[in-house]
Chain A
């Protein structure tokens, strides 16, 4: 019974960490727009924390390259379980229009396991909120249902 309570709490109180790999900041502006009174994601209990150790959700925007790959891995490792990764914007999904560039590795899922993909260039705030709330259902799944680390 306590497990059910904890699962419910996880769904109701997702704290997010936002990391911008190397985007044009378009998706970042949309993410920050979600925090404003117009969209107000605090209704869902979401708080933007700066410390990966406090976060449940990792929101990633931008393309992954050989430099920020290490940072992304580091942040993901610092986050305690259970955690969720949401890739926002086409650059995070697959590299977007920068996919062919010499320094770009590709999408976020080349480095860490992604649970939710939110397309768009930039992704709309409504789409971001939709994606995050859909992704929260992961917490209600049992431990075996959740993906594990890929290195």
Chain B
């Protein structure tokens, strides 16, 4: 293992991380034998995970890849970029979608202008750069992404059996999934903005193809919506690049950040446009409808693209740019916009009974919180954002995979149909409840980040009030779901349900990663988060015996984790003892029968006592709130972009 470390340089590892998934994707597409495909996916995933871990001691580094057969990387990417935009334009024509056609054409024109008229000489830029923030993203993409692909092997087999497909569409599916992993790794590793832009558009295309995978009318419609909204972001992106290059002549992300001129003008406006692109990518209001619509895709797609990785591109970009915006009105606006998204998405999630939509709104909500952290721009806020990216990605992926398994078993996504799931799917229900607990409770990572964010935001009254209100709303919809899953009468016995081994493996691994990393959060802070801060920022906390502490606050992660484990053990022992207690029917104000929830009513007829969850649609319903929320978001977005002028 040591020899392998010495043998593999940063350049080789980067090549593996970016090119290997693409090679595996091509193999999956060409060889149409499912057993070989599964093995290819398993091997590719394992190699990805290993490479990502091997990258840890090599960080930070920056490098420029050698010319490929004499052609420089920039030229290759340039050609591929145009090819990609032409593909998007083709889809625009095929589906007769005006917005896509217009936006694709716009991007082609801007890119042509940029490449051939604006760029005078290609300076020797370092194309790839990896610091600890990139490393965190690479680890998420490689580890979480691979685990999701593993589970997808079992899931898609079941999915296609359900749909009774004659010809399997799994080759296309895994081709795009692995291509996407390639694109994500490339995106987070790139330093050259044009390479970043290429991978940015590639993820848009992958998202479109995967949402439309099932081929139904609804799927295609939602895929087109995702495509045009993301293309809007892409157009803003290339426009911003033009602006930045005209103003400063810089094409490298790292050099852009330390450029330092934060006065209003073209440069700041370009920063605002980059933030706009990030908002569309991360499905913030008013662009959230594409993410909600994307839930029609098979669940591994939702888990991979629409919660853990692709939507994280937006927050990654803004977190990277945060030092460049420090102290500006733009930064302040981004913070308020993020907090507004956090609150609004949480309110909308309260009114939802569709499980995947609840997860989608929760994702938008947490992404809004990360944007708020980036906008607040203090060391504490940035660290909170980085930790939240990591913990949210892992736990949300876990929850999506659980919902996927549940959906395949009970043929429904509605939380009401998951009532008492413990009776039929005991372990999956328990893992889902575990995931919910890790989302909302201390001492786990998501709450640690939220705590840090509130303390960082405490001086900014707009932001802290919205975060406090949103935080209370999140408790409501998560606790409601967890309780519904366990609502099983006469529950005493634990019956392990049958699931494919890959599913158990993926769920178990994600659960373990989430739990262990939560306990180890102080050390993750020291090894990954603090080094990710730019040179100008000082570490906000000191770590003493597993406690994160500074003059204003303290979070005893490790001691509380130990006490929590102790409490958990005691509570489980209590459950074992209670299993020997007399188990009775609940109080129904009537004579109970042996059937759960059924009592003898008037005329000796059996009456089923039913209760449904409070979804409060009259207050928090999607139809009721969405228009107003979008209006508010529109106003704030205008402030963000216009305020940069």
Contacts and interface: CB of A to CB of B under 8 A. Distances in A.
A52 interface: yes
A74 interface: yes
A71 B600 CA distance: 10
Contacts of B117: none
Contacts of B587: 51-53, 78
A147 interface: no
B588 to A, nearest CB: 10
Interface in B561-604: 582, 584, 587, 591-592, 600
Nearest to B592: A74
A12 interface: no
Contacts of B584: 53, 78
Contacts of B592: 74
A146 interface: no
A67 to B, nearest CB: 10
Interface string A19-53: 00000000000000000000000000000000111
Interface residues of A, number: 8
A80 B592 CA distance: 16
Contacts of A51: 587
Contacts of A52: 587
Contacts of A53: 584, 587
A70 interface: yes
A12 B592 CA distance: 31
Nearest to B600: A70
Interface in A81-126: none
A100 B592 CA distance: 31
A78 B587 CA distance: 9
A55 B591 CA distance: 17
A70 B604 CA distance: 11
A80 B587 CA distance: 13
A78 B582 CA distance: 10
Give the interface centre of B591, B592, B600 by most chain A CB atoms within 10 Å: B591
B138 to A, nearest CB: 55
Contacts of A74: 591-592
Residue among B582, B587, B592 with the highest chain A CB neighbour number at 10 A: B587
B597 to A, nearest CB: 16
A89 B368 CA distance: 67
Contacts of A71: 591
Contacts of B600: 70
Interface string A44-68: 0000000111000000000000000
A53 B582 CA distance: 12
Nearest to B591: A74
B596 to A, nearest CB: 16
A80 B591 CA distance: 16
A80 B583 CA distance: 11
A74 to B, nearest CB: 5
Contacts of A78: 584, 587
A43 to B, nearest CB: 28
Interface in A5-23: none
Contacts of A70: 591, 600
Nearest to B581: A80
A110 B110 CA distance: 94
A71 B592 CA distance: 10
B482 to A, nearest CB: 24
Nearest to A67: B604
Nearest to A75: B591
A53 B589 CA distance: 12
B605 to A, nearest CB: 14
Nearest to A80: B582
A83 to B, nearest CB: 13
A82 B600 CA distance: 27
A58 to B, nearest CB: 15
Contacts of B582: 80
B626 to A, nearest CB: 42
Nearest to B587: A51
A51 B591 CA distance: 13
Nearest to B589: A50
A74 B587 CA distance: 11
Interface string B589-625: 0011000000010000000000000000000000000
B585 to A, nearest CB: 9
B592 to A, nearest CB: 7
A38 B591 CA distance: 35
A42 to B, nearest CB: 23
A80 B584 CA distance: 10
A53 B586 CA distance: 9
A78 B589 CA distance: 11
Nearest to A53: B587
A78 B583 CA distance: 11
Nearest to A71: B591
A141 to B, nearest CB: 23
A78 B592 CA distance: 10
B131 to A, nearest CB: 60
A51 B589 CA distance: 9
A18 B518 CA distance: 51
Nearest to A81: B582
Nearest to B584: A78
Nearest to B599: A74
A112 to B, nearest CB: 15
B582 to A, nearest CB: 8
A79 to B, nearest CB: 10
Interface string B78-92: 000000000000000
Contacts of B591: 70-71, 74
Nearest to A77: B584
B598 to A, nearest CB: 14
Nearest to A70: B591
A74 B599 CA distance: 11
A112 B332 CA distance: 73
A70 B591 CA distance: 8
A80 B582 CA distance: 9
Nearest to B582: A80
B460 to A, nearest CB: 48
A51 B585 CA distance: 13
Interface in B361-388: none
Interface of B: 582, 584, 587, 591-592, 600
11 contacts: A51-B587, A53-B584, A53-B587, A70-B591, A70-B600, A71-B591, A74-B591, A74-B592, A78-B584, A78-B587, A80-B582
Given A53-B584, A71-B591, A80-B582, 7 more contacts: A52-B587, A53-B587, A70-B591, A70-B600, A74-B591, A78-B584, A78-B587
The 10 tightest CB contacts between A and B, nearest first, are: A74-B591, A51-B587, A70-B591, A53-B587, A71-B591, A78-B584, A78-B587, A52-B587, A74-B592, A53-B584
Interface of A: 51-53, 70-71, 74, 78, 80
